[in-house]
Amino acid sequence: MRKKVLVTVFVLFFSILSYSQAKIEVLYFKADLTCCKAAACNTLEGDIKAMVEENYKSSEVVFKEVKISDAANAELVKTYDAKSQTVVIVKYKKSKVQKSENISQEVKQYAFDKNKDAFKKTLLAKIDGII
């Protein structure tokens, strides 16, 4: 009986701890574009997703594609005034936005100069800065 109580307390403690911790999302807003633009958009999305997933545990930072045309995402699109390739890092605490940063200018620069190392350094610094 004592063992069951300890296990229950342990599980409850970590459930509360994980609920109170902040959650970080990297939101990548995506439009339905023609094929040539979609290929570039998909490549950019893939690069950002890979950088996030290679450098953070899924319990720390989550990459999330947000389709602009999906009615379920209308509130997010409005909140961040999102257009195609808008990227926003959002920190949630107890399911509420605590802090956010739009890094679309940095993404646009990366799409232009293709300097993957410089962009990765910037992206990770931005994420670390919001954590």
| Residue 102: per-residue pLDDT | 98
Note if the pTM is more than 0.85. no
Between β-strands 61-67 and 96-102, what pairing exists: parallel, antiparallel or unpaired?
A: unpaired
Q: Assign 3-state DSSP to the chain and report helix, strand, coil percentages, each to 5.
A: 55, 20, 20
Q: Which range marks the domain in which residue 86 is found?
A: 21-130
| Residue 40: per-residue pLDDT | 82
Name the pLDDT band for 95 (thresholds 50, 70, 90): confident
Name the pLDDT band for 32 (thresholds 50, 70, 90): confident
| Residue 21: per-residue pLDDT | 60
Name the pLDDT band for 8 (thresholds 50, 70, 90): very low
Q: Would you state the structure tokens that stand for residue 122, as one six-digit string?
A: 């910037």
Asked if residue 5 belongs to a domain, the reply is no
Q: Which CATH number fits the domain that encloses residue 25?
A: 3.40.30.10
Asked if residue 12 belongs to a domain, the reply is no
Asked if residue 73 belongs to a domain, the reply is yes
